[in-house]
Structure 1
Amino acid sequence: MRLINIAYEHLEKERSNSPEDSFVRSSVTYEEAGIQKTFYVLYPAIFATRAREEGIWTADSPVDEVVALNLLKSYTGRKRLYISDESEYLLALKEADLSNLLEIVQQVKVNGSYHV
């Protein structure tokens, strides 16, 4: 598997009464067996704040960069994942090798890809 792109975006409201601005979509694009795929994870933006408050995420870069990458192996074959449970989100980060995830993100940014 070759990772091609790792990104995130804070969703913007389409309507004035929409709650979309309080969500983040994290994504990882990868190539597997010659086929390019993208895995998206959608979750409330407050979860990232909680990860910092609890000391789980201490890096200078946004935690949103590593969320989809962290969950990719657990949800192989899926295109989308919605996380509505804060404890599920935080547990996934607590169990992750965050320094390794940051290194992978940096490699993708610098080299344009990373082979897993």
Structure 2
Amino acid sequence: MLIKECVGYELEKEKSNTSEDFFNRSEVTFVEDGEVRTLHVLYLRFFDEFIHEFTPYQKGPVWSQGDIEVTFKDIVALVCLINNPGLRQRKRLYINSKVEFASYFQNIDYNKLPEILLTVKEKGQFELRSPLEYIQKT
């Protein structure tokens, strides 16, 4: 699988009676079997306040190197895809449970994760041979 882009952003209200401003969207675009796909993960923005509970990060940006900054929103969809490769077949994932959200961050090898994101930001792609390489062995 070739990871092409990892990006996240805060949704903004389009109309006064909608609730978009309570959500973040994280996207990972990848190529598999010659097909370009994007997994869109929509989650409650409130979960960002608890990243220290299920990741080693305290707040954003989670990494920076030179002029490259990676935010928590940038990694959510990638982490979901790594922890559940079955999501490659899906276009969207909606998470409104803190327990479910936290479960995607369990067993991720956070020492190896920057390699993916920094390579994507610098070179425009990263070859992910096996998601298991980014899962901690327990």
Name structure 2 gaps, 5 residues minimum. 64-69, 129-138
- Residue identity in the other structure for 2:120: V
- Equivalent residue for 1:100, pick from 95, 99, 112: 112
Q: CA RMSD in A?
A: 1.5
What is the aligned partner in structure 2 of residue 114 from structure 1?
126
Q: TM-score, normalised by structure 1?
A: 0.89
- Residues in 1 aligned to 2:79 and 2:114: alpha-carbon distance in whole angstroms: 10
| 1:5 maps onto 2:5 in alignment | yes
Deviation above 3 Å: which 4+ runs of structure 1?
none
Which range is displaced more, 21-30 or 95-104? 95-104
Q: How many residues align?
A: 115
Matched AA of 2:90? R
The answer to whether the 8 Å contact 2:80/2:105 transfers is no
Q: 1:72 aligns with which of 74, 81, 86?
A: 81
Q: Percent identity?
A: 35
**Residue ranges of structure 1 left out of the alignment (5+ in a row):** none
SS of residue paired to 2:113: helix
Q: State the TM-score, normalized to the length of structure 2.
A: 0.76
1:47-72, CA deviations, whole angstroms, 9 ceiling, x for partnerless residues?
A: 111113x3624134421111101111
Query: Contact 1:66 / 1:102 at 8 angstroms: preserved in 2?
Result: no
Secondary structure of the residue aligned to 1:26 is strand
